[in-house]
Amino acid sequence: MTDTLAEWELRQAFRHPGCPICTVIQNNTERFYRWFILETYGQLPMLETLSRGGFCPIHGWEVAVRAGQRISFTYEFVVQDRAARLRSALTSARAYAWWPVSVLRAAALGRRLTGWMARRRRERLARAIRLSLAPSQPCPVCDQVKGDERYAYRVLARLLEHDEERAAYQASAGLCWHHLTGALPVATPTVATFLAEDGLRRLEALGQDFREYFRKLDYRFASEPRGAEQRAWLQAARYLAPMGHLPACLSEALDPNSPLGPLLRERTRDLAAST
């Protein structure tokens, strides 16, 4: 992604609800899913990446829901690789389960030596199994998200060197806490001060909404009209938990402009009531 394209995407994200970097990450993640379904699901580099680590639980299910049966080719390769790894671990376990004659004779030296040998044997077995089964690469989607975040921090810090971009940022929803704390160390002192002051202003406004919410819980003011303070909990959740890391179904449920939001929220309430 070129700097010009990244800057354009961030400017567009300023106009959307929610953290601009979260918006960029969600768009890039959806782009990853589209290319995976269309092309990379059967390419050798992707298959090797998944065999060395695989998707995390959240992204694994998101890919499965989107790809459907198309992912059969991908997972057939991964299943065969997992079986080979487990056979290797089983071979190691069987090798360490056999006690050499020298170890059996060592039992005559006393229980202390025998216990020490048994501990060493368990440690070596555990190490051999870890080497056979431990993932050597992260989830490809998680890895892309981390790279997108690092790149977005640099692009945002460069954009906010200009007054017109700062005005556009102040009119946006601002960064969530996760991305604010990630962007501050990358920015220049001037931009970092601007981001910190803007973040403090937003936190103070959110704190005022909470105070108003709890004030109206008092029976003396319960009859007053309810306003934006009733959604303070949702604003705080969006601020403290980055939307770019949420599963798509939760992002839809929390998006007030999504047509699926009311349906998903109703379904969530039904599931909660049945448990």
The tens digit of pLDDT for each residue in 39-60 reads 999 999 999 999 888 899 989 9
Provide the pLDDT for residue 266. 55
C-alpha dist (Å) from residue 20 to 7, 54, 119: 11, 28, 53
**Local confidence band at 19 (pLDDT 50, 70, 90 cut-offs):** very high
In this predicted structure, the answer to whether residue 156 has a pLDDT above a threshold of 50 is yes
In this predicted structure, the answer to whether residue 256 has a pLDDT above a threshold of 60 is no
In this predicted structure, the answer to whether residue 97 has a pLDDT above a threshold of 90 is no
237 or 97: which carries more pLDDT confidence? 237
**What predicted TM-score, i.e. pTM, was given to this entire model?**
0.75
Average pLDDT, the chain: 81
